[in-house]
Structure formats: structure tokens, C-alpha cells
Amino acid sequence: MRKKIIAGNWKMNKTVGDAVALVEGLKMDLAQGTDVEVVVCPPFTALQAVGEKLTNTQIKLGAQNMSSEDDGAYTGEISHTMLKDLFVKYVILGHSERRQYYKETDFWVNKKVKKALEKNLRPIVCVGEKLEDREAGNTEKVVEAQVRGSLADVTAEQFENVVIAYEPVWAIGTGKTATSAQAQEVHAFIRGILRDMTGEKAANGLRIQYGGSMKASNAKDLLSQPDIDGGLIGGAALDARSFIDIVKAGM
Ligand code: 13P
């Protein structure tokens, strides 16, 4: 059985004060742990303050990006050492917003994924097609290239620490959720690619989150699909009540 994982991607939102207020709200219901693994991914500037609030809770801390390099002259970048210093456990890599606005390619996502795994950070690797890809019937082709490219050279043992997030770009922040059947179809397809890449056992153990306008009202339906093992939540993670309700839908 795969333990469901619900992660909040706060994106470029929340000052330190706002972030602390949000995490205090989450702790009321989620601090003691649930059947669902809960992760919050604040912006870098709030990682330390949020991390301090999460001490002695079951909620885990994640970052939204990471450099592929160890240290040195890389202005504006954040390294694995800096993240681990703040007790970060997960790191979102290859989010479609990074791919789209900052031109991150599978090559770079793969470098970051390998670095994260080598340094014992768990990557949440994002893949997903654009609307034009779906309309042209290219969803599987695009998603397969991203999965294979982003996870190239990852070993079977390392695969145990990988989480994949399927986020159709047309569903992100648009209010248009993929139907649970549409999402399940792609999730099952991704698991098939993983079987081919790393074998039956690792593929069956690997968690694949859905992301894209997931909210309390559609979470139960999505999370009850056989290959949907959690959610990566944007907008609905910015409010404690709505995020808690999504986590509860996964229990
Ligand atoms: P929304 O939930 O706001 O659609 O964002 C999804 C997302 O991009 C999470 O990484």
C-alpha cells in the first residue's frame, strides 16, 4: 500500500508572518500525524520560520526548487546543503512554472533530481502536458519524454525516494481540474513507464500525486483512483481550512 502524500506548494506567496500564521492553523488539525503524509513547501524566505514551527509535528518541510550545484558562484541560487540545514526533506523540481518561465529543461531537472537524491533530499518531480499538447493528442508523448528525461540514470534504490507529480498545465490555477478518469489514465500510463524504467516493485511503490486546481470538493474523487497517490496543491493550500479539508479527503 502506498501512503498518500498531500503537499502544499505555496509558490511566491506569504511573508514570514503570513507563513507562520498559516502553519499554526495547519498544526491545529495535522500536527499529530494522519494516515496521509503532509508536506508544506513555503518560499525560501519562510523555510526557517515554518520549519521551527513544525518541530515535533508530523508535518514535513519542502522547498520549491534547488540548485544542481553544490556551492560557489551561482548568484541567486539555493543549495542542497542550505536546504538540509533548515531540515527540509522534500524539494519540488521541474514545476511547470519553472519549465515555462525559467526555461528549465529535462536536462536541468534531471541534474537537480540526481543531486537531490545523492544528498538524501526527496524530489517531487513535476511533469504535465500543455493544453495544445492534449488537443494535438500528444499527452502521452510529452509526459513520457518528461518522465524519462527527468529521471534518467536514477537507480532502482534511489527510485524509492522519488515522488512524481502529474500536473496538466491547463489545469494549474485555472479552476479546470482534470476529471478523475482523465487523471487516472495518465497516472496509470506514468506507472507503466516507471515499470519499464525500474521494474515492477519500485514502480508499484512509487507515489504519483495529481496537481491542478485540486480542492476539497474534488479531492476525494481524485484520491480514490487506484494510481493517484496524493496531491500537489497550489491555491487551495494557501488557506488552512481548505488544505486541511483536502488532507482529510485523503484519509
Ligand atoms: P493550483 O492548485 O493553484 O492549480 O496549482 C497547482 C500547482 O501548480 C501545484 O504545484
Reading the chain (251 residues) residue by residue, the pLDDT tens digits are 899 999 999 999 999 999 999 999 999 999 887 899 999 999 999 999 999 999 999 999 999 999 999 999 999 999 999 999 999 999 999 999 999 999 999 999 999 999 999 999 999 999 999 999 999 999 999 999 999 999 999 999 999 999 999 999 999 988 888 899 999 999 999 999 999 999 999 999 999 999 999 999 999 999 999 999 999 999 999 999 999 999 999 99
**Closest alpha carbon to 58 in 34, 91, 41:** 34
Whole-angstrom CA distances from 112 to 118, 120, 122, 233 are 10, 12, 11, 22
Work out how many domains the chain is built from and give that number. 1
**pTM score, whole prediction:** 0.98
- Ligand 1 geometric centre to CA of 172 (Å): 5
Show Cβ contacts of residue 197 under 8 Å, excluding neighbours closer than 6 positions.
Answer: 147, 148, 151, 159, 203
Rg (CA), the chain: 17
Residue 193, classed as helix, strand or coil, is helix
How far apart CA 39 and CA 207 sit, in angstroms, is 14
Within 10 Å of residue 138's Cβ, how many Cβ atoms? 14
Q: Return the ligand 1 atom nearest residue 165 CA.
A: 10
Q: Write the single-letter amino acid at 109.
A: V
Angle at 29 between CA 27 and CA 30, to 5 degrees: 65
* Pocket (CB within 6 angstroms of ligand 1): 9, 95, 167, 172-173, 211-214, 232-236
Q: What is the CATH number of the domain that holds 55?
A: 3.20.20.70
Q: Is the dihedral of CA 146, 152, 154, 159 positive or negative?
A: positive
Q: Which domain holds residue 59?
A: 5-249
